[in-house]
Amino acid sequence: MKNRIKELRARNNWTQEELARRVGVRRETIVFLEKGDYNPSLQLAHNVANALGTTIDSLFEFD
Amino acid sequence: MLSKRNKKLTSPNKVDARRIIVMTVLLCLVAATILAWGWFAEPGGSPGIPAIALLLLLIGGFFLWNAWRDVRRGLPIEDERSVLAKTRAGYYAFLVSIYFWLALGWFEEELPMTVGQAGGAAIAFGALVFFAAWVYFSRFADPAIRVRQ
């Protein structure tokens, strides 16, 4: 599963820690999400999309 | 001036802060119990036991300090991924501990230790496996158990 988290985070000029704080998760979770090494729950995917001002559909791309 | 939303984002989570205080007290209690156990198990005390208690305090203190730093930055000490990592580490620690207990039972007569010492070794081994698995799944691997879909 690919995602655009890093791209959208960079567009907002946020650090991983800043995004983690806004989503309410640990920084490592953002690191693993960006690398595509962790499949988030639907709730977490929604929270990340919400923090980045987008939708789950446009944030995650399923292979 | 911080907006209301940003104030909320940067203020330390009181529940997490309380949890760290409780964990610090528990860590001290565990270290004190190990010291007391060593003292009563061997009159006059054993030199290895205080070292184990100190090691536990140092490692536990390091993780608690990191958790406290995260809380002060407005980050949670746990989220869904960290809970998954802990759950999976517990699962492996449980499985490995079962085999350790079985091995202890099997080699019961050859072991040069008392039942109390063997129990202590089994608990320490389980804790060690949990710690190693927890570090691995927290830092290096996906803690989710994947199923074919």
Q: Is A61 a member of any domain? A: no
Nearest-CA distance from A1 to chain B in Å? Answer: 13
pLDDT at B116 over 80: no
Of the partner residues A25, A39, A40, the one whose CB lies closest to the CB of residue B76 = A25
pLDDT at B11 over 90: no
Confidence of residue B1 (pLDDT cuts 50, 70, 90): very low
CA atoms lying within 13 Å on the CB side of residue B41 = 19
Spatial separation of the C-alpha atoms in residues B15 and B149, rounded to whole Å:
38
Question: Is the pLDDT higher at B11 or at A10?
Answer: A10
Confidence of residue B114 (pLDDT cuts 50, 70, 90): confident
**Contact state of B75 with A20 under an 8 Å Cβ cutoff:** yes
Six-digit token string for B78: 């746990």
Of the partner residues A22, A25, A37, the one whose CB lies closest to the CB of residue B142 = A37
* pLDDT score, position B5: 54
Looking at the 3D structure of chain A, how many domains does it have? 1
Which residue ranges in chain A fall short of pLDDT 70?
63
**Contact state of B79 with A25 under an 8 Å Cβ cutoff:** yes
* Owning domain of residue A16: 2-55
pLDDT tens figures, B16-56:
889 999 999 999 999 999 888 777 766 666 677 888 888 88
* pLDDT score, position B43: 66
Q: Is A60 a member of any domain? A: no
Interface test with A, best of B80, B138, B139, B147 (most A CBs within 10 A): B80
Q: What is the CATH number of the domain that holds A49?
A: 1.10.260.40
